[in-house]
Amino acid sequence: MINSLGNLFLYLPILFTFFFYLRSSKLNESQTILAARVIYICSLIPFLLLLIAFATSNFQTLNVLQNSYINDPFIFKVTSAWGSHEGSILLWVFLINLYGLTFSFFHKKNLLNKQLIFISQIFIIYILISSNPFIEVNMDGNTEGLGLNPILQNLLFVIHPPILFLGYLGLIIPFVISSFILTTKQHDEPLFQQMLIWSKISWFFLTVGIVLGSYWAYSELGWGGWWFWDPVENVSLIPWLLNTALVHSLQVSIKNNQLKLWSLNLALYGFIAAVFGTFLVRSNLIVSVHSFATDPLRGLFLIIIIGYLLITTIRMNLKSISLFNKDTFQFISKESFLLINNIFFICAALTVFIGTVYPLFSEMIFQTAVSVGAPYYNFTFNILLAPIIILMAFAPQIKWHNHHSQNQIKLLIIFLTGFVASLISYFIFYNLFFSISVFITAPLFMQSVVVLFAKFKKDFRFYAQWLAHLSIGIFIIAAVSTEQFDTEENLLFKKDSNNELPLNSGGYAYIENIQNIEKLNHVQILLDMKIVEENKTYSLSPSKNIYQPSGQITNEVSVVNNFFSQYYATISQIESDLVSINLVYKPFINLLWMSALMLILGIFGSIIRKI
């Protein structure tokens, strides 16, 4: 029954869209909006039906059979709906139409809704051709299902994919508004205001999604890192960087009617980058813990969709090429600083893009397997990040149009103070990378303190921007600290022995207990250990889980906080008489997560002010 209904509501929106396009010229505005909303609502229903199928363990549905287990906790049964390629693409369609339905209450322009509906139906056709989750199979009543990938049985998986998709697909609204402006030549300020609001909404969800994904990798995969420059991490970072550039560029477009074409193109290519990320994850072209190993034919259909969006965008670029280079402003002005900021963000996005796709092209064209790893990204990306941080320190205080600074001595003092602070940090920690990070972020910290106590009117916008910018400086210091000063030890304990092993930090560790615990869908081998350091005792409980029905074994991380730092433990190996523990000390890792939360709050504050 669910499979029949699911297929029916996949075909109905396509049929309705055909008649909508056929008759839209004869409908008035209210009829057009009503028809558009009917299509949006019909397109929402298939995903809701898939959720019901997973929640009820309907193993007559092939997708449920392959990605769910009868004894999985209910929350993981439901969220298994986006644990597969088919389910995640259906979630993609659901969110496009959710955005479309919401947008229809703010904008009643026929052309905008037609484009949203058209893009949505392209993905529904893609689902019907290669990714239909409503394929029926005949199974007996004893079927228990094959189960969700154990790595995905984490509470963060419940919210991470939908939030990240909300970020990706929030870019569809700026995309259709930009297309509308370039097609109709209506450069009205309200359209740019709407583009800014929707860009910030997407920016918020992208930021939350990336942070949650990073924390999921840190807390679940057991390698102790928070960012691996994994291809799937990279393709989420590219639209984030472009959207960050768009948000700043739109301020210039709205404030003084410049950089409009620049903003429009950022909106177009930001959404294309989001779709490209989806293609890369689901094309079977990359190896990643996040990607879906699937039929390469599915990637072919996605590349056709990207091709259509790209050709449409290039066509609009060519039509508007005469408008390039018509912006004029003084070099020392807020506009120029935001433009330079944009250039560095775009170059950073291109750097990540090249590093991600170069191995693919090398293998396809030259038949040579190459790997682009962290050293490439850390060098190129950080070189581009440094001027962004420095510009961030001064741009908010620069005036629009033409800035006349009469206090060059203050600027010199700030840089000299940063230089002295970096020298002091080098002689204390003997780490060049940390001292460079101090030099780069010192102007941002000093300016943040100065403007906070400066006597001028401070509104909600000021505090949102101040918090977001300050968070980046804290993030840089925390990230460099945790990467440069972390320590790792492999501890080998004898079972049934209360032996204490010394730690490099001066303390010691010992195992208190090992126990097997029967859970609903897995067996947990839980190890209780203690770390004693400076008269303080820290408790850690890493485990290994053996999941049913696959028998797959996962390592579960245990962490314990020490102010801004953490001890991070995983079980490397368990034998009949020995237990091996990997123990990592991550200095300032909690400060890193705190800075990410500050950025999220800053972005959220800027959205609240606009709405």
Q: Which of 207, 309, 312, 199 is nearest to 245 (CA)?
A: 199
Per-residue pLDDT, 486: 92
546-557 pLDDT per residue, tens: 888 778 888 889
Per-residue pLDDT, 554: 86
Tokens of 485: 């000063």
pTM attached to this predicted model: 0.92
**What is the Cα 56 distance to its own chain's centre?**
30
Q: What single-letter DSSP state applies at residue 187?
A: -
Per-residue pLDDT, 294: 52
Tokens of 562: 């020490």
Tokens of 389: 């941080």
Please report, for residues 155, 220, 265, the alpha-carbon distance to residue 592 in angstroms, rounded to integers and kept in the order given.
21, 18, 33
Per-residue pLDDT, 143: 80
Return averaged pLDDT per consecutive 10 residues of the chain, 611 residues in all.
Answer: 92 93 81 92 96 92 89 88 89 96 86 91 91 87 80 84 94 94 85 94 96 90 82 91 95 86 93 87 59 59 84 84 64 81 94 89 77 88 90 78 64 87 93 94 90 73 89 95 92 80 88 87 89 90 87 89 92 86 94 96 87 57
In which residue are the tokens 């780490």 written?
Answer: 431
Q: Which of 297, 313, 280, 311 is nearest to 126 (CA)?
A: 297
260-282 vs 231-256: helix axis angle to the nearest 10? 160
Residue 218, H or E segment: helix 189-220
DSSP lists the bridge partners of residue 543 as: 526, 556
Residue 324 to residue 327: CA distance in whole angstroms: 8
Per-residue pLDDT, 489: 92
Instruction: Return the exposure string of 91-101: e unless at least 16 CB atoms fall within 10 Å of the residue's CB, then b.
Output: bbbbbbbbbbb
Per-residue pLDDT, 323: 61
Per-residue pLDDT, 172: 95
Per-residue pLDDT, 334: 81
Please report, for residues 102, 114, 359, 556, the alpha-carbon distance to residue 88 in angstroms, rounded to integers and kept in the order given.
21, 24, 26, 25
